[in-house]
Structure 1
Amino acid sequence: MYPSRTRLGVALAAAGLSTAALVGCSAGAVDKALDCAQTAATVARDVQDLQNVVGNAGNSPQDAATALDRISQDLKNLGEKTSGADVSKAVDELQKAVRNARTAADNGTVPDVTPVAYAAGALTKVCAPG
């Protein structure tokens, strides 16, 4: 089972993200920050779903692959809506973690999703200014 601190941390970070993203931004920056915050919150929910799939006994690697596909799609959407070196680096790290987990799922094993959760937390941090 995965540490509840990881799940709680991702959930709390996502919950506070939308408000934090709006502090001290110009109108254009607000839109980008809000897009980043919304996508990071969506990714956090996707990661929670992935952790639930992997944590439940008897689930197939295909269930994990489906959850990883959702994360990949959300990251693609984020890349189209935002810019910035920090966001790009966080997205790249999360994509790498998703690819590694996907490889395990494709090989018929249930993946270790801890790196995905940590990378999602890093994305949440860079999407929150300050």
Structure 2
Amino acid sequence: MSARRRIAITIATAALLVPAAVGCSALNTAMDCVETADAIATSVDKLQQAASSAAEDPTQARQALDDIDRELDNLGDKTDNADLSKAVDDLAAGVDNVRKSIDGGDTTPDLKPVTDAAAEIGKVCTP
């Protein structure tokens, strides 16, 4: 199973586990998580593709990273949950680190901060 699919399933499942009787804050968090699950998974997938193709086509990698940055900016603007916003910010920071690595000639940038941030989003979404 791809990392994108695992992340999407984890986040969506966690969001669906919120019981109907929870307070507004938890429900809002669940809704934010459901709305962002696919976009986050897509972002991580795009980043992995960009990182794996950086040596062959750094222009393509830079474009993929630019697309991810725009997507993450939009996600950060959509949520009013502080923990979810922080996780999105952490994911954006991971993307920035990958960009710096690729720009510096690194053909195997460290994606761990990105996957860690995606995992944190899963934790935030768990009721």
Same fold? TM cut 0.5: yes
Distance in structure 2 (CA, Å) of the matches to 1:71 and 1:125 = 21
Alignment RMSD (CA, Å): 2.8
Percent of residue pairs identical: 41
Instruction: Assess if the C-alpha contact under 8 Å between 1:35 and 1:78 holds in 2.
Output: no
Q: Read off the aligned partner of 1:117 and give its amino acid letter.
A: T
Q: Which residue of 1 aligns with 2:96?
A: 99
1:87 alignment counterpart: 84
Check 1:125–1:70 CA distance in 2 against 1; reply closer, same or farther (3 A cut).
farther
Give the Cα separation in 1 of the matches to 2:37 and 2:12.
9
Q: Identify the residue that residue 72 of structure 2 maps to in structure 1.
A: 75
* Distance in 1 between residues matched to 2:73 and 2:54, nearest whole Å: 30
Describe the shift of the 1:99–1:129 C-alpha distance in structure 2 as closer, same or farther (beyond 3 A): same
Please say if 1:18 is aligned against 2:12: yes
Q: Unpaired runs of 5+ in structure 2?
A: none
- The residue aligned with 1:125 is 123
Please state how far the C-alpha of 1:16 moved relative to its aligned partner: 4.0
Which residue pairs with 1:60 in the alignment? 57
Contact 1:18 1:37 in 2 (8 A): yes
TM-score, normalization: structure 2? 0.72
Give CA-to-partner distance per residue, 1:64-86, whole Å, 9 cap, x none: 22222222222211221112221
Using structure 1 for the length normalisation, give the TM-score.
0.71
Equivalent residue for 1:40?
37
Count matched residues.
Answer: 123
Gaps of 5+ in 1: none
User: Aligned pair in 2 of structure 1 residues 121, 68: CA closer, same or farther (>3 Å)?
Assistant: farther
